[in-house]
Structure 1
């Protein structure tokens, strides 16, 4: 959630999937910190137009506003922020895990609350990425061997989505680990340990 007057991020959450319940929880938490708002404007996504969110805003006497169908310009502040973030060179194709996404979110929210603008936040992120790359280059580690994970998952009749939900990760992150396209040791070990704990499925 972005305050349209200050352009500060007043509320943000990252979850594997979107839902009306999660949207309500985020709004409730945001209101408890910043006070109940007069107007909440949103797009016409299923979560924001749900009866659950509508009931919360009605109970709190908050005016509910929505963009016109297929008119993204009705929500210019959020759309501008998302475009700036997604088109930045440091924005990844996908995060290695849900934890990585949440850490990035927390970092952006923190810098925004300090009064930094979008360009300055992007510079901070670039410097952070540069430091991480330098650290890896100075301390190289052997590549991970993860080619056993996919056969083990399939033997248990599990989908990547099911695994991702259990590990609080993105399905794409699970796919990248299985293909050896990422070196996320923490998530890889969690994945292997979790598979070991699952009951075997009889043929």
Structure 2
């Protein structure tokens, strides 16, 4: 069972044990998402997954090195979205969000095209309908603001970061990314 304090905003977050990361990955495998398929869907290397679960058999209660952003993403795939906001998405008009971006921004990692800063400015920034700023996003997901701004200037938002933004804005990333999923993945809750 995964501890509830791993499903919290970053300022209260307890890093998961390697066994907890392994449990999430095992759940994904149960539904046919073996390592190679998960790598293709997420853009995360197999080596990274191994690093985050290293020592699982010998030291299951060792703290994993998984970054908060990646943990947010993986637990969202297994039915615990928006842990950065206690499970709640922002209350916004999803149709407006969808219309702000090119269709290629809503594809799996292997086909994803990063939205431009201009497109993202329609949804995030001062005075937009979401009320969300770039600083809010950086603080919410424990991103370095200067690094995030640099990615925005280069129109190169990392896929996982983009997925977390979409999830925060109320889009269902399971349906967006795991398009051939037969049933919803749900992680056990204590």
Task: Note whether the superposition's TM-score is higher than 0.5.
Answer: no
**Structure with the higher fraction of residues in helix conformation:** 1
Which structure exhibits the higher relative contact order, with contacts defined as CA atoms closer than 8 Å and separated by 6 or more residues? 2
User: Which TM-score bucket, shorter chain as reference?
Assistant: under 0.3
Structure having the higher Rg: 1
Q: Could you state the TM-score of these two structures normalised by the residue count of structure 2?
A: 0.26
